[in-house]
A and B are shown apart, each in its own frame.
Chain A
Amino acid sequence: MTTTHDIVRLHVNGDLREVGVPTHYTLLETLRYILGLTGSKQGCDKGDCGACTVVVDGRPTLSCITPVWEAVGTEVITVEGLASADGPHPLQDEFDLNGAAQCGFCTPGILCSASALLERTRAPSREEIKDALAGNLCRCTGYTKIYDAVEAAARRLSADDASADAATEGGASTGGASPVETDREPGGV
């Protein structure tokens, strides 16, 4: 059978993208080779390793085995969509500060799985973190620093939530700065 093309409309990282794509492309191929979003990695390419994980409608999803048409009508968030205008996502900061990435190949997928977890709960237990990341293989770190980083990001996000609540209630505001003390600057190794 010859390749045919379709026009698909995708919501990716908050933008509506309308692109021509071979009908049989996966979501991952569309992200990487049509939209130029190469953060999501093509690892095993058959649903085993989790490096291609993106968040579809709030749920971590393997983009390498998701036909692109299944993403139409959903909200897709890739690792490129985690940072905001204010700076990196707390998970990204904490991965840096905790040394949670070594070769970095699994990191985008893990950040996506972890960000979906932290959207569901701001206070995940160590077990919940392990379960949430069970489908993301990392061959470098041994996971400990990854779990540490997710825990640290969770603490920061819940502290941010608390200060945002306090601000809306007219209480003392920390002015958006993270109230969690750290003796290391982001970016320092």
Chain B
Amino acid sequence: MLRLPPFRYHRPSSLAEALELKGEHRSEAMYVAGGTDLVPNMKHRLFEPAHLVALKGLPELRGIEERDGSLRIGAAETLTDVAKNKAVLEGFPALAAAAGHVAGPQLRNSGTLGGNVCLDTRCTYYNQTAFWREALGFCLKKDGDVCHVTKVGKKCVAAHSADTPPVLMTLDAELVLAGPEEIRSVPVRDFFVADGIVNNQRLPDEIVTEIRIPLSSVGRRQAYTKLRQRKSIDFPLLTVAIAADMDASGRVRSIEGVVTGLGSRPRLLTGWSEIAEGHALDDEVVEELAERAHKQCHPLENIIVDPEWRRAMVPVYVKRALAQLRAA
């Protein structure tokens, strides 16, 4: 059995109260929404906060509705609710698919969209018990100063393993972050940084309150594919999200692809517009796009699946996503 370290549990009833509790306990406190990522991590002693501030009961973080030209999704809405929501299914089917592919049904019933966006990075040498990690002398990301993946590197390369951010990036979504001083919004595509220790720009006191997807993205053709070991429950070994605007004759006006599951942040694939814009998505263009994606992806042995195989799967999954897109 895996016991949790002792902590106090706070259930604030408003956003202001949650921010206040965090301000009171500072670095001793962490926020928790669904807990599906944080609680196992606490059991592994990756985090040992003395106070947990629960976000699920905050009314400011609930609801899915159209507002000011965007679909606004409260950050504490569960992945189950996002995946089954009518507005999401109709307007953003790739997001519904991604949310519906996170882990298994029980985890989606607890886990939230905001939590998925803020998911901690994962690594073979990190997501282990304290006993296991200690036996290896710990690692760069937690309690140690060596990276067991790169051996020499001083930068953590733990993998970003969340399903929804790549899709949100291709839909031009933004996050609303509430801190003690200000409320700010950040495009999802600018949210992540290439550092496996903390791979996003959320400040420790800030709460992701909502995700906004512009309704202007509704008409885009969208696709989402995911490689995993067991299709019933696993984290992605590779995820591909693509969105494209096509004209009436089927020519690409604009196209964007994002892959993740490989490095510390989702990667926006470059060079795609030159290949596809103004052309139909015929087999030749598809082949070129897949090849360009393959050239850019160089996964490391940060998760316990052969990186060469994961890399070889990049063009395969890009092509599957493009096939979805053509059929959309």
Do A and B pair up? The answer is yes
Is B233's CB under 8 angstroms from A23's CB? no
**B11 at the binding interface (Cβ < 8 Å):** yes
The yes or no answer to B271 lying at the interface (CB within 8 A) is no
Q: How would residues 112 to 126 of chain A score, 1 for a CB under 8 Å from any chain B CB and 0 otherwise?
A: 010000000000000
Closest Cβ neighbor of B52 among chain A residues: A67
Q: Is the CB of A67 within 8 A of B9?
A: yes
Kindly state whether residue A81 has any CB partner on chain B within 8 Å. no
Residues B6 and A4 in contact, CB atoms below 8 Å apart: yes
Contacts of B232 in A (CB 8 A): 134-135
Are A45 and B1 within 8 A (Cβ)?
yes
Residues on A with beta carbons closer than 8 Å to the beta carbon of B152: none
Residue of A nearest to B44 (CB): A46
Give 1 or 0 for each of B30-49: 1 = CB within 8 Å of chain A CB.
00100110011001100000
Closest to B9 in A: A69
B104 adjacent to chain A (CB < 8 Å): yes
| Minimum CB–CB distance for A79 against chain B, Å | 15
How far is it, in angstroms, between the C-alpha of A5 and the C-alpha of B105 when the chains are bound? 31
Q: Does B161 contact A (CB under 8 A)?
A: no
How would residues 1 to 44 of chain B score, 1 for a CB under 8 Å from any chain A CB and 0 otherwise? 11011111101000000000000000000001001100110011
Quick check: is B323 within 8 A (CB to CB) of the other chain? Answer: no
Q: Is there an interface contact between B11 and A61, defined as CB atoms closer than 8 Å?
A: no
Task: State how many residues of chain B have any CB contact under 8 Å with chain A.
Answer: 30
A8 to chain B, nearest CB (A): 10
Q: How far is the CB of A20 from chain B (nearest CB, A)?
A: 15
A62 CB-CB contact with B under 8 Å: yes
Q: Looking across the interface, which residue of chain A has its beta carbon closest to that of B32?
A: A67
Q: Check A70 against B35 for contact (C-beta < 8 Å).
A: yes
Indicate if the CB atoms of B39 and A47 lie closer than 8 Å. Answer: yes
Pick from A3, A45, A70, A113 the residue with the most CB of B within 10 Å. Answer: A70
A113 and B105 contacting across the interface, CB-CB below 8 Å: yes
For B80, the chain A residues whose CB sits under 8 A away are 59
Chain A residues with CB under 8 Å of B193's CB are: none
**0/1 string, A48-68, CB within 8 A of B gives 1:** 101001001001111001110
| A contacts, CB < 8 Å to B | 1-4, 6, 22-26, 42, 45-48, 50, 53, 56, 59-62, 65-67, 69-70, 72, 113, 131-132, 134-136
Task: Name B residues whose Cβ lies closer than 8 Å to a Cβ of A.
Answer: 1-2, 4-9, 11, 32, 35-36, 39-40, 43-44, 50, 52, 54, 56, 80, 103-107, 109-110, 232-233
Q: Can you list the 7 inter-chain pairs with the closest CB atoms, starting with the nearest?
A: A135-B104, A134-B232, A46-B40, A65-B39, A59-B109, A69-B9, A45-B2
What are 22 A-to-B residue pairs whose CB atoms are below 8 Å? A3-B6, A4-B6, A6-B9, A23-B7, A23-B8, A23-B9, A24-B6, A24-B7, A25-B4, A45-B1, A46-B2, A46-B39, A46-B40, A47-B40, A60-B105, A62-B110, A65-B39, A113-B105, A131-B105, A134-B104, A135-B105, A135-B107
